[in-house]
Amino acid sequence: MPPRSEEPRRDATGSRRGSSRGADPRSGEPGIGGISDARAYTPRGRTIREGGGAARAATSGGAEPRRTPRSSRSGDPFRPALQVLDGGRTGATRTGRRETAAGGGRVGVVRTVPRPSRARPDDEDDLPPPRRRPGPRAPRRPDRAAARRPSRKPRRPPKLADPRRRLRLGTLLTLALFATIGIRLVYLQTVDTPAYADGGLAKRLAVVDLPAPRGAIYDRTGAPLAHSVEARYVFADPTRVKDRVATARLLSPLLGLPASELAEKMKRRTLPGGGESQFQYLARGVEIDKAKQIVALDLAGIGVHRDERREVPGGDLAANLIGFTSQDMVGLEGLEAKYDDLLQGQSGRKRYEVGQGDLAAPIPGGYSETTEPKPGSSLELTIDRDLQFQVQRILSAQMAQTRGSVGAAVVLDVATGEVLAQASNPTYNAATPEESKSTAREDAATSFVVDPGSIHKAITYGAALQEGVITPETEMPIANSITKGDVTFRDTHPANGRRMSIPGMLAYSSNVGTIEIADRLGKDRLIDYQKRFGLGQPTGEGMPGEASGRLLPAAEWSGSSYGSVPIGHSVDATPLQMAAAYAAIANDGRYVQPHLIKDVIGPDGKRTPGPNPVTRSVLSPANAAALRTMLEAVTTVEGATGRAAAVSGYRVAGKTGTGLRYVDGRQQPGEVGSFIGMAPAEKPRYVVAVFVWSPGGEGGAVAAPAFREMMGFTLRHYRVPPSATSRSPKFEVFPR
């Protein structure tokens, strides 16, 4: 395309186009050019002479094309602007209009190439004709120069952007954007709502623990031995305490703690992970009235919250059995520890929305969730509170005669195996366990392991009766001593070789006679009956840490063992194990496992009986009755070892014992004095066992009198009729 000239286009006569001087004087029309010619431009401003068609025709007819003058090819610089004013339509010059020169000469008509149609942009024949101005039309003058130009296809102007397509695209993009935003909003409101809500919820939630009341421990009558009561704990936020010294002085008389101790607790402390501690216990288990007074002081940084306190009404009553808990209500010793999971229950929790700052109060209608606490179950023991108190009192009074001694006492119901009382001395106050020594908190009945001594002889005689080695009428000459291995065993009541009856051997606690009967029985059968009577294994009474004792296996017997084992040495047993063995003799030869748990009481009050006790037959009823009768000689024969254990008005069968105590395999100084008996002997109801170890050897003088008082109170407490109509038989120690 030739460059557009900046000079105004001239016609053939040399005059400028667009001048009003070029008007046709005959028609009065303005000349072609000027503003009128501006309308004949296309958007690009290029024009083609109207006579181009004739020129093409001439060219096709063989005429020499003539080059168009430069002035005719140059465009008017004002025409594009005028075309815009005309609405962008082509055809500012109309087909058929004539240009006149200044001298009246005519030139070829110029027309603008119309813009291609949108429907058919490649078909130039379909282009719309240029718009013509109304008025008379001048005759056409053939353009010889155009005729001489070679015919060529006019260039198609470049396509312009379609505003409708841009509008559609913009609309689609806008709709897509709004659709995306809408989908995201719906997703946030439906799917992600819980996540976003929970994310902010944690910052405005208050959490309050709801402690579950710990189950109580009752005696067999329903009297509480240990139970929980509602209390309060007092805490401090050291970061908010303004004056800890002044605050401590105000709290000291209410909490019963030194002000210096409270001030020390309120010191600011840095946590291991960073930051300052905002919680510190000042006191636990505070009475509610005291807590109210503390709240009324309105001290900065001091708070009060619900707590629980364990109360032991009896103080030291059955303390060695019950045990105690920590301040957090966790069982640490005794039954509190053994049945901690059952007693503890499950704590609850309340979570709710609160406001911030001065509006730190529950938000009405806000989030709130409460998990109700599940109270713990309670235990009803077989212990009789009144009997327990008397047994503890008697044991303590009798042991006051000794120094540095350890004692244990057990009362069993013969028919059921229930433990009615189980006392230890020394003891402690379970309400303030921190003030006691660990040795005072042990349950001696289940942890006190001793050589039972002569009380074991009842097992040897019972086995011999059951195996037919002896009968109640058996008599034997008894020497003053007997040697087994490298040990010589002697009697405290020498027989000097005289014949002695079985009741006499028991009454005088003959070591020689017992060893001779055991030789006839044999070690294997003796060990078998030891196990049947419950030795060598824990009773499973219910106390934690119960000792099992130990039996000497047959393979480990030495020469002296044939003399020591039958009389209760080289045997380890607890007071409870020996009491259960005597209860089997009292129960017509049937062993019943001793136990402490009578019922388990659920939070709803439903009672579940404790596990059924293990039972087994050890002796026949006849042999058990015969052995009971022979044991009565211990409390009735003149000069017998157990005369101090006789209970006025009742027949008593039992046996004294003198044994040794071992701790970690080492023999301790002194002796263990014991007495185990049953009453009424004709039909026993109860068995009482008393063991006292004393470094000075005074236990034997303490055990029998203590038994007498305990058994006497037990029989009267349960209103057992005296044995007035049934007297003990007369025994001959040395028959003629």
Do 139 and 178 lie in a common domain? no
**In the block, residue with structure tokens 């709502």:** 193
* Residues in CB range of 114: below 8 A, 6 or more apart: 42, 90, 91, 127, 128, 129, 130
Q: Note the pTM of the prediction, 2 decimals.
A: 0.70
Residue 627 has pLDDT above 70, yes or no: yes
Do 172 and 278 lie in a common domain? no
Report residue 523's pLDDT band, with 50, 70 and 90 as the boundaries: very high
Which stretch of 148-157, 517-526, 727-736 has the lowest confidence by average pLDDT? 148-157
Asked if residue 622 is part of any domain, the answer here is: yes
Rounded CA-CA distance 656/651 in Å is 16
Report residue 102's pLDDT band, with 50, 70 and 90 as the boundaries: very low
Which stretch of 158-167, 235-244, 404-413 has the lowest confidence by average pLDDT? 158-167
- The reported pLDDT for the residue numbered 80 is 58
Report residue 72's pLDDT band, with 50, 70 and 90 as the boundaries: very low
Rounded CA-CA distance 210/374 in Å is 10
Rounded CA-CA distance 704/674 in Å is 7
Report residue 65's pLDDT band, with 50, 70 and 90 as the boundaries: very low
Residue 35 has pLDDT above 60, yes or no: no
85 versus 63: which is more confidently predicted?
A: 85
Asked if residue 9 is part of any domain, the answer here is: no
**In the block, residue with structure tokens 């700052």:** 357
Range of the domain at 267: 207-380
Asked if residue 434 is part of any domain, the answer here is: no
Do 194 and 246 lie in a common domain? no
Query: For residue range 287-311, what is the model confidence (pLDDT) as tens digits?
Result: 999 999 999 998 988 999 888 889 9
Query: For residue range 215-228, what is the model confidence (pLDDT) as tens digits?
Result: 999 999 999 999 99
Span 417-435, mean pLDDT? 94
Residue 576 has pLDDT above 90, yes or no: yes
What Rg value do the Cα atoms of the chain yield, rounded?
Answer: 60
- The reported pLDDT for the residue numbered 60 is 42
Q: Please give the single-letter amino acid code of residue 239.
A: T
* Among the listed residues 408, 410, 401, 483, the one whose alpha carbon sits nearest the alpha carbon of residue 661: 408
Tokens of 517: 């009967």
User: Other C-beta atoms within 10 Å of 311: how many?
Assistant: 14
Span 426-452, mean pLDDT? 93
Span 236-258, mean pLDDT? 91
Do 80 and 139 lie in a common domain? yes
Rounded CA-CA distance 620/533 in Å is 13
Q: What is the full DSSP assignment across 24-73?
A: -TTT-PPPSSHHHHHTT--TT--EEETTHHHHHHHHHTTPPP-PPPHHHH
Residue 94 has pLDDT above 60, yes or no: no
- The reported pLDDT for the residue numbered 17 is 42
Q: Please give the single-letter amino acid code of residue 64.
A: E
Residue 33 has pLDDT above 80, yes or no: no
Considering 1-5, 166-170, 659-663, 692-696, the range whose residues carry the highest mean pLDDT is: 692-696
> DSSP 3-state assignment of 84?
helix
Span 237-254, mean pLDDT? 91
Tokens of 500: 């002695």
- The reported pLDDT for the residue numbered 142 is 56
Residue 193 has pLDDT above 50, yes or no: yes
Residue 388 has pLDDT above 80, yes or no: yes
CATH number, domain containing residue 416: 3.40.710.10
Query: For residue range 484-516, what is the model confidence (pLDDT) as tens digits?
Result: 999 999 999 999 999 999 999 999 999 999 999
Average pLDDT, the chain: 82
Residue 154 has pLDDT above 80, yes or no: no
- The reported pLDDT for the residue numbered 62 is 43
Span 90-99, mean pLDDT? 43
Asked if residue 93 is part of any domain, the answer here is: yes
User: Other C-beta atoms within 10 Å of 156: how many?
Assistant: 12
Report residue 632's pLDDT band, with 50, 70 and 90 as the boundaries: very high
- The reported pLDDT for the residue numbered 136 is 53
Rounded CA-CA distance 302/232 in Å is 13
Residue 70 has pLDDT above 60, yes or no: no
- The reported pLDDT for the residue numbered 156 is 74
Rounded CA-CA distance 132/82 in Å is 16
Residue 351 has pLDDT above 90, yes or no: no
- The reported pLDDT for the residue numbered 117 is 46
Report residue 263's pLDDT band, with 50, 70 and 90 as the boundaries: very high
200 versus 110: which is more confidently predicted?
A: 200
- The reported pLDDT for the residue numbered 422 is 97
Do 357 and 396 lie in a common domain? no
Considering 31-35, 297-301, 354-358, 383-387, the range whose residues carry the highest mean pLDDT is: 383-387
**In the block, residue with structure tokens 């305990």:** 710
18 versus 297: which is more confidently predicted?
A: 297
* Residues in CB range of 66: below 8 A, 6 or more apart: 55, 144, 145, 146, 147, 148, 149
Which stretch of 323-332, 551-560, 588-597, 662-671 has the lowest confidence by average pLDDT? 662-671
Q: What is the full DSSP assignment across 434-488?
A: GGS-GGGGS-HHHH--B--GGGGHHHHHHHHHHTTS--TT-EEE--SEEEETTEE
Rounded CA-CA distance 105/99 in Å is 8
- The reported pLDDT for the residue numbered 361 is 66
- 671 close to 652: Cβ distance less than 8 angstroms: no
* Among the listed residues 511, 481, 537, the one whose alpha carbon sits nearest the alpha carbon of residue 656: 511
Do 212 and 195 lie in a common domain? no
- Counted domains in the chain: 4
Do 355 and 448 lie in a common domain? no
- The reported pLDDT for the residue numbered 727 is 81
Domain finish residue from 199, 218, 241: 199
- The reported pLDDT for the residue numbered 416 is 96
Q: What is the full DSSP assignment across 294-307?
A: HHHH--TTEEEEEE
Encode 186-250 in three state secondary structure.
HHHHHCCHHHHHHHHHHHHEEEEEECCCCCCEECCCCCEEEEEEEEEEEEECCCCCCCHHHHHHH
- The reported pLDDT for the residue numbered 458 is 97
Do 521 and 570 lie in a common domain? yes
Whole-Å CA distances, 364 to 206, 355, 361, 653? 14, 10, 9, 75
CATH number, domain containing residue 319: 3.90.1310.10
Report the run of H or E that residue 111 belongs to, with start and end: strand 110-112
- The reported pLDDT for the residue numbered 79 is 59
Share of residues in the chain with pLDDT > 70 (%): 76
- 3-state helix, strand, coil split of the chain in percent (to 5) is 35, 20, 45
Do 635 and 686 lie in a common domain? yes
CA 26 to chain centre: 115
Residue 479 has pLDDT above 90, yes or no: yes
* Residues in CB range of 641: below 8 A, 6 or more apart: 454, 507, 508, 509, 634, 656
Asked if residue 385 is part of any domain, the answer here is: no
Rounded CA-CA distance 477/496 in Å is 9
Do 358 and 265 lie in a common domain? yes
> DSSP 3-state assignment of 155?
coil
Tally DSSP H helices, then E strands, for the chain: 24, 29
> DSSP 3-state assignment of 617?
strand
Do 567 and 548 lie in a common domain? yes
Share of residues in the chain with pLDDT > 90 (%): 57
With vertex at residue 386, the alpha carbon angle to CA 673 and CA 597, rounded to the nearest 5 degrees, is 80
- 691 close to 703: Cβ distance less than 8 angstroms: yes
Asked if residue 735 is part of any domain, the answer here is: no
Residue 696 has pLDDT above 90, yes or no: no
Strand 487-490 and strand 280-286: pairing? unpaired
Span 631-655, mean pLDDT? 95
- The reported pLDDT for the residue numbered 86 is 52
318 versus 18: which is more confidently predicted?
A: 318
| Partners of residue 309 on adjacent β-strands | 229
Residue 158 has pLDDT above 80, yes or no: no
Do 416 and 356 lie in a common domain? no
- 354 close to 204: Cβ distance less than 8 angstroms: yes
Asked if residue 730 is part of any domain, the answer here is: no
- 569 close to 353: Cβ distance less than 8 angstroms: no
Report the run of H or E that residue 370 belongs to, with start and end: strand 368-371
Backbone angles phi, psi at 119, to 5 degrees: -75, -40
Asked if residue 736 is part of any domain, the answer here is: no
Report residue 718's pLDDT band, with 50, 70 and 90 as the boundaries: very high
First to last CA, the chain: 165
Residue 66 has pLDDT above 70, yes or no: no
